[in-house]
Amino acid sequence: MLDLTPKTVSERSALRINPCKTCQPVGALYAALGVHRCMPHSHGSQGCVSYHRTFLTRHFKEPAVATSSSFTEGASVFGGGPNLRAAVKNIFDIYDPDIIAVHTTCLSETIGDDLNACIQDISVPDGKIVVHANTPSYVGSHVTGYANMLSGFIRCLADPRAAKNDRTAVFPGFVNPGDIRELKRILSLTGLPSIMFPDQSGVMDAPMTNTYVMYPQGGTPLDDIRALGGCARVLALGGFACAEPADVLDKKCKVPCAVLPMPVGVGATDAFVTAAAEGAGRAVPEELEDERGRLLDLMLDANPYFYNKSVAVYGDPDTVAGLVAFILELGMRPRYVVTGTPGEAFTRRITALLQEYDTGNCTVKAAADLFELHQWIKNEPVDLLLGTSYGKQIAKAEDIPLVRAGFPVLDRYGHSYLPIVGYQGGIRLAKMIADALMDRQDRDCADEDLEVVM
C-alpha cells in the first residue's frame, strides 16, 4: 500500500501526510468522559462529533457518548448560540447528565462563537453545570484538547475555598483506562490518599452487564473536582497533557504541583512511586519493590534481544518520551522519534533523554508526520516500530515488526485494559518488544538455527 513512498525527502511546510495526531476535540471528549455523569458536547456540526466518537470507539471498543450543537448553514452564518441553548435544554431533559462539558470545533472557532458569553446566557437547571473549553483543531492536537478540557473543568469547578485536605491530585495524562487502574493500584499500595482526575477507568472499559447504562460507575465525581482546590499537591504525569491544567489549578487555588514524566519504564516509575511514598510519609512498599525487581530481571534476561536494536518511536509526546526512556533502559537505540503534536519542548525533552546515553544518531521531530518517518526508514531501516496502529502500513511495506502502544490502537483488542505504566506495565511492554523481535528472528532464521529453548 505504501510501497511507492518516495525515498527522497523534500521540505514541506503546509502539508501533513498521515499525520501523527488527531484533532483537539477528540482529546477534549476523552477528558470529559473521565468525569462521572458528564455528557461531552461538541459545539459544531454533526460530522465532527461523529468522527470524534467513532475515533474513540474504535480505540476503546466502547461506545463514546457525546452530543452536538448540530450546526447547519444558518448557525454557520449567524452563530451557534441558539443551537447551543436548544442543545443544553434537550440534553438535560432527555439524557439527564449532572454536567455538560462543551468543547468547540474548527467551525465554531472560525466563525468566532464566544462560548463563554453563550453559556452565560443559557438558563441551566438547578444543580446542573455546564463547563467549556476552546479546542480549535488547527492548533495543537488531541493532547492539547485534552489539556484544555481539564483546564476548563478546573476553571469552572475547582474551589479555592474547599476545605484543605491531605489528598494528592493525580493527573494521569492521556492514557488508557488500564493505565489509570494501575496508577490507582500503585497509589493505594503506597497509602497516598488521592483524587484521580480525570478517571476513564470504569467508563471506557465498563464491564458487559447486558444492560446499557449511559453513565457507568467510573469517572471522577464532581465533588472531587471541587475538592481539587483543597488538595495538598498535584502530581501531573506528563508535561504535555498535564502541566497546563496543573498550572491553572495552582494559579486558581494555590495547589503546588510537581510535573513528572509519564511513568513508563524503570526510572520514570521510580520517580512516581517515590513521590507517592514521600507524599504518604511511608517507605516504598515491598510489593512494589518486588515488582521492580521482576522487571529488572526480565530486562536482564532478554537483554541480548534488546541490545543495540534500532527503533522508530512515534505517537503522543508524553507517551513517546516514556517509551524512549524505557527503550534506552533496555539497551535499544532510538533512531527516529516523532510526534504530531507541535512544540519544541518535545525535541528538548527527547534530546535530554538521549544525552544520558550514548546511542548514536537519532532524528527527533515534533509536528511531524508518518510519511516523512517512512521516507527516513526507506533511507535507513530500523529493527522495530513502536507506536500506534498508523505505523501498520509502514511495517508492512518495509517488513519491520511493529509493537503497538499509545493512542490510537485501532486494529487490536484488549490493549486498553492493560497498562504500559508502572513496573507491571514495563513488564508487559518489555515482553511485547521481546516477543516481536524473537518472532522475527524465528521467522527469518535458517531451519537448523530454529531454537526451542532461548
| Interface with ligand SF4 (CB under 6 A) | 23, 25, 44, 48, 51, 105-106, 137
Q: How far is the CB of 340 from ligand SF4 (least distance, A)?
A: 13
Residue 106 vs 187, nearer CB to ligand SF4: 106
Q: Per the structure block, which three cell numbers stand in for 399?
A: 517488513
Q: Per the structure block, which three cell numbers stand in for 183?
A: 496508577
Q: How far is the CB of 44 from ligand SF4 (least distance, A)?
A: 6
Buried/exposed code over 57-95 (b: 16+ C-beta within 10 A; e: otherwise): eebbebebbbbbbbbeeebeeebbbebbbebbeebbeee
Residue 73 vs 448, nearer CB to ligand SF4: 73
Q: How far is the CB of 23 from ligand SF4 (least distance, A)?
A: 3
SS3 content of the chain, % helix, strand, coil (to 5): 50, 15, 40
CA distance readout (Å), 133 to 20, 64, 151, 247, 314: 23, 19, 8, 16, 27
Residue 106 vs 154, nearer CB to ligand SF4: 106
Residue 115 vs 321, nearer CB to ligand SF4: 115
Task: Residue count of the chain, please give it.
Answer: 454
Residue 110 vs 379, nearer CB to ligand SF4: 110
Residue 138 vs 212, nearer CB to ligand SF4: 138
- CB-based contact 250:158 (threshold 8 Å): no
3-state secondary structure of 295: helix
How far apart are the C-alpha atoms of 357 and 325, rounded to whole Å?
Answer: 10
How far apart are the C-alpha atoms of 125 and 148, rounded to whole Å?
Answer: 25
Q: How far is the CB of 199 from ligand SF4 (least distance, A)?
A: 25
Per DSSP, the residues of 411-439 read S-SSGGGS-SSHHHHHHHHHHHHHHHHHH
Q: Among 386, 338, 341, which Cα is nearest to 142's?
A: 341
Q: How far is the CB of 330 from ligand SF4 (least distance, A)?
A: 36
Residue 51 vs 357, nearer CB to ligand SF4: 51
Residue 142 vs 428, nearer CB to ligand SF4: 142
How far apart are the C-alpha atoms of 403 and 391, rounded to whole Å?
Answer: 9
How far apart are the C-alpha atoms of 26 and 43, rounded to whole Å?
Answer: 13
Q: How far is the CB of 356 from ligand SF4 (least distance, A)?
A: 37
Q: Among 145, 176, 157, 140, which Cα is nearest to 34's?
A: 176
* CA of residue 267 relative to chain centroid, distance: 20
Residue 20 vs 158, nearer CB to ligand SF4: 20
Q: How far is the CB of 135 from ligand SF4 (least distance, A)?
A: 8
Q: How far is the CB of 110 from ligand SF4 (least distance, A)?
A: 9
- CB-based contact 421:271 (threshold 8 Å): no
Q: How far is the CB of 68 from ligand SF4 (least distance, A)?
A: 10
How far apart are the C-alpha atoms of 120 and 140, rounded to whole Å?
Answer: 27
Residue 45 vs 151, nearer CB to ligand SF4: 45
Q: Per the structure block, which three cell numbers stand in for 362?
A: 537519532
How far apart are the C-alpha atoms of 282 and 289, rounded to whole Å?
Answer: 13
- Using the structure block, give the residue that is written with the C-alpha cell 516504598: 284
Q: How far is the CB of 57 from ligand SF4 (least distance, A)?
A: 15
Q: How far is the CB of 262 from ligand SF4 (least distance, A)?
A: 25
Residue 25 vs 80, nearer CB to ligand SF4: 25
CA distance readout (Å), 158 to 38, 119, 326, 374, 414: 16, 18, 35, 44, 34
